[in-house]
Structure 1
């Protein structure tokens, strides 16, 4: 006796499975990042920053990473420009030979990573804000930092982070 002969839900269930798999394709992948865990005062600054961040950075629309948090933001797709707010002070800041840049009134520690991406971390602000620009997006140089500088100046006051 064939138990599967009269199961009308077999084909619809298979079609549903195919639709679900298509909905999970890699084209829809959102980057994931570690969410910082700062104290209450820095979290408040980061919340304010999240509210004033631009909708576009370097002509790329905002597309936040997972898990969703006001401490992280992203622009573009693959690869995305990622911002994290409320990090610990980077050890590289203690290096007197470390590279730094100033872009529109915001100081940044500059680190080129082994994968040719760049990591920038704000200096002399009450919260450390990190921006990672993937290797595939570095052709426009400092353009992402130009887009972010007004929001950082507005939301994160000058000073030394706790």
Structure 2
């Protein structure tokens, strides 16, 4: 299901979200620990009640930095660290003005919005392919709340 190219923390996040998303109740989504300025940006993120026709679910632990929809869960974490595999020549997908970095590159499961003053990570289970549809729905909230970094910075 996952390739060995996934960083350990990313693999753990994806596995926890996928495993927890199979049942009912709150979805286990690890809470990121950003600096205070980034946390303030993330707390202002106004996310939709439905994504890809999936209802929003509670996350555990409860945090304004995380969100989830559906089962298995589409999970969002705002204020995550810069992806370790991201470099200036990384292949990005631009959807409605948001640049996304997908890992693994050959079958993205986790995307990170880059080029913003806070990194926003979205884990999309294969059930919801094409994953770009999910990113299209979440993009306006991210674009409206998380300012872009200066030109050329990812």
Match of 2:145 in 1: 155
Give yes or no for contact 1:99–1:111 (8 Å, CA) kept in 2.
no
Match of 1:120 in 2: 111
The answer for unaligned runs of 5 or more in structure 2 is 1-21
Q: 1:80 aligns with which of 73, 80, 90?
A: 73
Report the number of matched residues: 130
More helix by share: 1
Taking structure 1 as the reference length, the TM-score comes to: 0.73
Higher radius of gyration, 1 or 2: 1
Give yes or no for contact 2:117–2:149 (8 Å, CA) kept in 1.
yes
Give yes or no for contact 1:113–1:119 (8 Å, CA) kept in 2.
no
Taking structure 2 as the reference length, the TM-score comes to: 0.77
Distance 1:135 1:64 in 2: 21
1:80-104 CA-to-partner distances (Å, cap 9, x unmatched) read: 10000001111111262x3310111
Any residues of structure 2 matched to 1:1-162 within 5 Å, and which? 27-49=23-45, 52-77=46-71, 79-94=72-87, 96=89, 98-112=90-104, 118-138=109-129, 140-159=130-149
Q: Give SS of 1:142's match.
A: helix
Displaced runs of 4+ in structure 1, greater than 3 A? Answer: none
The Cα shift of 1:31 comes to 2.1
The answer for unaligned runs of 5 or more in structure 1 is 1-25
Aligned alpha-carbon RMSD (Å)? 2.1
